[in-house]
């Protein structure tokens, strides 16, 4: 990146899209973040919905890989219930992408 390009990056904080982040974990596999919308003064912004994000890490032959997904949940209990299926979907997507990449590499070797 050139110094000109570096000077063009906009680092302005979007004050209309602020969230307070709270973390929950079972210290085994699940990490769930609750993102509570806040106003620029730090008070809760009840005009926007709280969001939940799931995250886990799996070991692959290439090293650790982070899976994450937004959860359609309104409470931490709902988020915990949705966590396994959401992570399975993300893992399936990761496997499909890896298989597609492998097929692409195999076809380049053959031709």
85-111 confidence digits (pLDDT tens): 999 999 999 999 989 988 888 888 765
Q: Which two tokens stand for residue 75?
A: 């409470």
Backbone dihedral region for residue 42 (phi beyond 0: left; psi -120 to 50: alpha; all else: beta): left
- What's the pLDDT score for residue 2? 55
- The structural domains of the chain, with segments of one domain joined by +, span 15-110
CA distance 35 to 73: 11
This prediction's pTM: 0.80
pLDDT band at 23 (very low <50, low <70, confident <90, very high): very high
């Amino acid at each position: 990146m050139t110094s000109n390009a570096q000077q063009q990056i906009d680092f302005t904080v979007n004050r209309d899209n602020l969230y307070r982040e709270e973390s929950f974990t079972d210290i085994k596999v699940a990490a769930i973040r609750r993102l509570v919308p806040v106003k620029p003064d730090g008070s809760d912004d009840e005009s926007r919905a709280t969001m939940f994000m799931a995250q886990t890490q799996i070991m692959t032959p290439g090293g650790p890989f982070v899976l994450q997904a937004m959860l359609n949940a309104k409470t931490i209990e709902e988020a915990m219930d949705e966590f396994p299926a959401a992570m399975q979907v993300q893992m399936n997507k990761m496997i499909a992408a890896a298989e597609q990449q492998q097929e692409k590499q195999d076809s380049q070797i053959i031709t």
